[in-house]
Amino acid sequence: MVDHQHYTYRVTWSEEDGEHVALCAEFPSLSYLAKKPTNALQGLVKLVGSVVVDMIENGEPVPEPIAAKTYSGKFQVRVPPEQHRNLAIKAAEEGTSLNRYVSSKLI
């Protein structure tokens, strides 16, 4: 069974709502509002736990926590040819590979 506390949670301020909002990357449709950030997080963790139990009971697939996944470190990005050329030029000017140059810009 998936431990709902292992999901990726984030709390931020919602100017629109005038409260803190807790979000979960693995469940983007869920959120929880509260005056205090700790209450928003606790509320969302409890809500996600209920949703996971409900999904299991209904035979639905439960998302795997991002933290439990393994990543190869590779992904492919398609860019227009002119942008590819400009990136290659900038990488060459900095004396580095295109992969290393682009990777440094993603941080």
Name the pLDDT band for 26 (thresholds 50, 70, 90): very high
| Average pLDDT of the residues in 70-80 | 93
The average confidence (pLDDT) of the chain is 95
3-state secondary structure of 103: helix
Instruction: Look at residue 1 in the predicted model and tell me its pLDDT.
Output: 74
pLDDT bin (cut points 50, 70, 90) of residue 74 is very high
Residue 105 confidence (pLDDT) above 80: yes
pLDDT value, residue 79? 95
Split at pLDDT 50, 70, 90, the class of 2 is: confident
Question: What share of the chain has pLDDT > 90, as a percent?
Answer: 97
Position 6 pLDDT exceeds 90 = yes
What's the average model confidence in pLDDT over 6-32? 97
What DSSP letter does each residue of 32-88 carry, written as one string?
EEESSHHHHHHHHHHHHHHHHHHHHHTTPPPPPPGGG----S-------HHHHHHHH
Report pLDDT for 107: 79
Which domains, from first to last, does the chain contain? 4-67 (3.30.160), 71-106 (no CATH)
